[in-house]
């Protein structure tokens, strides 16, 4: 068992989709040579400044998140513009969750994602590395 590596991503000015794919890649553990699809990755990802994430095109105006309780007429909709103002960490969490496999491991992988709306986080003791310095190709 390898010791977990902690990565940190500053979401300010980064595109949501490109950043979420890289985070999902790391949470899944695909960057390790010992990757097997039936085990969860051991690395943690910290995302700061979630309120500064960028959505390309007209997504900020048109994208809507929907959920349904199962009862008739009980579909709730929230525009991404309002969600970015009220709970910006939820936008990144939903994007990463949608890119992980839909199986029992997804909930355990999501426990390794830590998203904060501003620059402060309580994980300084873990000495996180900058994710874009380690994997520079996809976060630009």
Task: Say whether pLDDT at 22 is over 70.
Answer: yes
Q: For the chain, give the percent of residues with pLDDT over 70.
A: 95
Using DSSP, state whether 52 is helix, strand or coil.
helix
Task: Say whether pLDDT at 83 is over 70.
Answer: yes
- Nearest partner of 15 among 62, 56, 64, 58, judged by Cα: 56
**Which two structure tokens, joined as six digits, stand for 120?**
């402060």
Domain 6-53+89-134 fold: Ribosomal Protein L13p; Chain: A; (3.90.1180)
Residues 6+ apart with CB under 8 A from 136: none
> For 57-69, what is the mean pLDDT?
95
Angstrom distance (rounded) from CA 68 to CA 55? 24
Q: How many CB atoms lie within 10 A of CB 21?
A: 16
Task: Say whether pLDDT at 140 is over 80.
Answer: no
Report CA 116 to chain centroid distance, whole Å.
11
């Amino acid at each position: 068992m390898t010791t977990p590596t902690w990565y940190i991503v500053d979401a300010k000015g980064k595109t949501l989709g490109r950043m979420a794919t890289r985070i999902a890649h790391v949470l899944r553990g695909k960057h390790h040579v010992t990757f097997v699809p039936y085990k969860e990755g051991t690395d943690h990802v910290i995302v700061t400044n979630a309120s500064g994430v960028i959505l390309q095109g007209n997504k900020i105006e048109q994208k809507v998140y929907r959920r349904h309780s199962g009862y008739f007429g009980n579909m709730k909709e929230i525009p991404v513009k309002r969600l970015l103002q009220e709970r910006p960490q939820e936008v990144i969490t939903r994007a990463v969750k949608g890119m992980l496999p839909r199986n029992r491991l997804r909930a355990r992988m999501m426990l390794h994602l830590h998203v904060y709306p501003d620059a402060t986080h309580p994980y300084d003791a873990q000495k996180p590395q900058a994710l874009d310095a380690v994997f520079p190709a996809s976060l630009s």
